[in-house]
Amino acid sequence: MKTTSLSPELIVAGFHALSEPLRVKVVELLRSNELCVCDLCETLDVAQSKLSFHLKALKDANLLRSRQEGRWMYYSLNLSQFVVLEQYLSEFRRHSPILPARPCSEED
């Protein structure tokens, strides 16, 4: 079934990182532009220490990129890693038969 050579570790890390609601909120905020950690903290109403933990998980999963400007860290999405996760899921769609909906049987 597998036609691509996707790293199982990156797949697991990516889905694990996205399994936490706060991390999904971070990803949603970064969808349109790069943001400073201070802006993320303010928007999410989260302490920087707590957010740093979640940013590290996203970064370790290769879902985020970061750059430092002065004393601030700026984060953006690493879209190529999202493509990897999308490719993984698309393998199921591509190679699995789509079963037609079964009609409901009405019993009296």
CATH of the domain at 35: 1.10.10.10
Would the pTM count as exceeding 0.85? no
What does the alpha-carbon distance between residue 82 and residue 104 come to, in Å, rounded to a whole number? 38
Phi, psi of 58 (to 5 degrees): -65, -40
What does the alpha-carbon distance between residue 78 and residue 30 come to, in Å, rounded to a whole number? 10
Tens place of pLDDT for every residue, the chain, 108 residues?
343 456 888 899 999 999 999 999 999 999 999 999 999 999 999 999 999 999 999 999 999 999 999 999 999 999 999 999 998 888 876 666 665 555 665 554
Specify the number of domains making up the chain.
1
- For 18-42, letters b (16+ CB in 10 Å) and e give beeeebeebbebbeeeebebeebbe
The answer to whether position 48 is within a domain reads yes
The answer to whether position 85 is within a domain reads yes
The answer to whether position 34 is within a domain reads yes
The answer to whether position 102 is within a domain reads no
* C-alpha pair distances (Å), 9 with each of 47, 54, 94: 29, 18, 22
The answer to whether position 35 is within a domain reads yes
**Residue range(s) defining the domain that contains residue 45:** 8-90
The answer to whether position 100 is within a domain reads no
